[in-house]
A and B are shown apart, each in its own frame.
Chain A
């Protein structure tokens, strides 16, 4: 029995057809995955189902009856809740206040309604317990929670309104493996309680792990809906990108790994202790670990964004890095984990972002030379196959993959010696991922040392020449990707956690 059915949904923004005639059925109690490249129309479709957008035409049926949503509240009242990538929680309020936001429990005293905090806390606790997430303290403020706990709070909030359909937009994007596992067990639990779940994800492995069926969108069209057991990962990928792709990873280049030219000795800070490792020219060194293990902090420290103790040797000399400029001078660059936070100035154009760290190369006596600048931007864009309407396009209008290419590209100008890539493919569609992998290979073949920080195990295993695994701020082991498996990495990644 279909709990939800959409018929001939069309939607366009400023003349661009984002959804072209979508027909989709979701069965009651199933976990239905929606996949597609960025810009395929997934989020728009979900927003229409959740009443945040109104379609230009088409119908939505809930339990066989036609419904019309004019606001998210209409959808919530019909039992549909959408959980965004950006949380809709108020950071300054507590968990229980957020769960009951807008429908606070009150008690009457002297004829006046007072908020009943005690009751709200108790209820919130009960809601959390239902889903086995009672370890979240109900009176801690949202801003103090981890991303995973924020996510779980968001789910609890949605379910406390008795939602029958839960729509989740990339819920695992910011979660660690362990947290993802936890989330999945909660989702399975919900499913057995009769909740229907619609799940958007870029991580195909996850879909095979948890989904019952999958719908593939491309360019605003529904390509197919399949039961998960009647489709392979390669088939999904080729449906997503419209051509068959035998492998998600480009072929490994034959390259010569050079001499050791970088060494970190005994690096320590608040987030990591006793970090020792070296890097060779042309080597891709993977640093794997769960979120919070300290690998991001190691990368940011080497780039001069964080204070740390310890010594760094580069090209035979001890070097001092206390600010990003120091690292930049030595040709050591960071592509940060969160490109919106550290990598880009969203209000500025592709050109301006590209030039930001390179203005010294593009200017004469403080004046920016437009011709040098333009040439550099255009060369980089064509090399990386970055899709922009013009070099003056604002970067916030670009897709995740193209944004990441802008971040990568700005360092190419300076002929990098070491690239620290922190989650370089996070939130990026399959096609762009492939291109970024190719880029990593090309750079390493040129002799650039690459430090690849990633929580995507397949990525680390496939790309790296050598893998370090971190847990709780320490290096817990080194693996050879030729022989290691995902389980080996995981074992080292949780080492020290159990004890």
Chain B
């Protein structure tokens, strides 16, 4: 969405400089391994699941909500898809079942938030817990494996030498960009997050917007969950746990305001890449796990501080 020239510059582009800075650092430290085309494809592949979830999360955060259930939905969808495929041998039935479950739980989140007026944090915290439980019941705590090789394609296959998961991520990004930047609906999402009362007064159907953003989040979580299960060739009962935090981190790193109404799709992609590049680069450099956590925390803090500092500076 357009941001005024006067105060949007750092908010919008600061995160790009951040990513470039991190890439330059690792490129200097590890020119032979890190800074190679194949490693960038690998990073894209590794970030694809988180970015799929983050794009859905972004729609929700733009309306000043939050969806804590994205990881749980991804886990359940992976299990349902895998389970259905194993039970019926039908790949497309499995994918449809998974996507259906994802959208259904997204809709449930949306209805709870829009109509029962439960704060999004509490509503999705509750559904996160419930969905995690449903996954454990469904899988009985056991991973589902022995999946047909046709299922592997989604997370492991290539299309014209490009990993299919990257193609899925790119498609989701383009769709999100078009919806948010170019459509009436996208404008409504920003407006509802910016000022719900003024949006209602402008004739926008608030509950329709709210329900739909959670459904979109459910759909993208479902796709992420399927990619995850396919990448591993296994639907783990605990797959997806903790993914909500990485998704929220990517969105916020990308400059989207947790208060709603402000954000940039490209920023979310960059936020996702920052997390993936950090993980990849530090592993390549064989940095100890203890330090990795500290570095990740500091980078997130620094990026967010830079953004808010930039905002303040330009506003004055």
Contact = CB atoms under 8 A, between A and B. Distances in A.
Given A324-B200, A357-B202, A390 B182 contact: no
Interface string B1-34: 1111111000000000000000000000000000
B201 interface: yes
23 contacts: A13-B316, A324-B202, A328-B203, A342-B198, A345-B198, A346-B195, A347-B257, A349-B4, A355-B187, A356-B198, A356-B202, A359-B184, A359-B188, A362-B184, A366-B183, A366-B184, A367-B182, A367-B183, A368-B184, A393-B4, A394-B4, A394-B7, A410-B202
B200 A305 contact: yes
A78 interface: no
B262 A347 contact: yes
B279 interface: no
Nearest to A364: B184
A360 interface: yes
B200 A352 contact: no
A320 interface: no
A274 interface: no
Interface string B56-70: 000000000000000
B194 A392 contact: no
B98 to A, nearest CB: 27
Which of B4, B5, B257, B315 has most chain A Cβ within 10 Å? B4
B7 A356 contact: no
Contacts of B7: 394, 397
A332 B234 CA distance: 59
Nearest to B194: A345
Contacts of A359: 184, 187-188
Given A352-B190, A392-B2, A345 B199 contact: yes
B310 to A, nearest CB: 13
Q: Per DSSP, are chain B's interface residues mostly helix, strand or loop, or mixed?
A: helix
Nearest to A362: B184
Contacts of B6: 389, 393-394, 397
Which range holds the interface residue count of chain B?
Answer: 20 to 34
A343 interface: yes
B212 to A, nearest CB: 13
B316 A392 contact: no
B191 A352 contact: yes
Nearest to B188: A359
B227 to A, nearest CB: 28
Given A343-B198, A352-B187, 5 more contacts: A323-B203, A347-B257, A352-B1, A352-B190, A394-B7
Interface of B: 1-7, 182-185, 187-188, 190-191, 194-195, 197-205, 257, 261-262, 314-316
Contacts, number: 100
Nearest to B204: A356
Interface in A257-290: none
Interface in A325-353: 325, 328, 334, 336, 341-349, 351-352
A341 B183 CA distance: 25
A352 B182 CA distance: 12
A84 to B, nearest CB: 18
Nearest to B185: A366
B168 to A, nearest CB: 23
B200 A356 contact: no
A403 to B, nearest CB: 12
A359 B186 CA distance: 11
A424 B198 CA distance: 16
Contact of A303 (B187, B199, B201, B314): B201
Contacts of A367: 182-184
Interface string A361-404: 01100111000000000000000000001101110010000000
Contacts of B182: 367-368
A193 interface: no
A368 B183 contact: yes
A14 interface: yes
B194 A346 contact: yes
A14 B316 contact: yes
Contacts of A344: 195, 198
Given A348-B261, A351-B2, A392-B5, A341 B184 contact: no
B187 A368 contact: yes
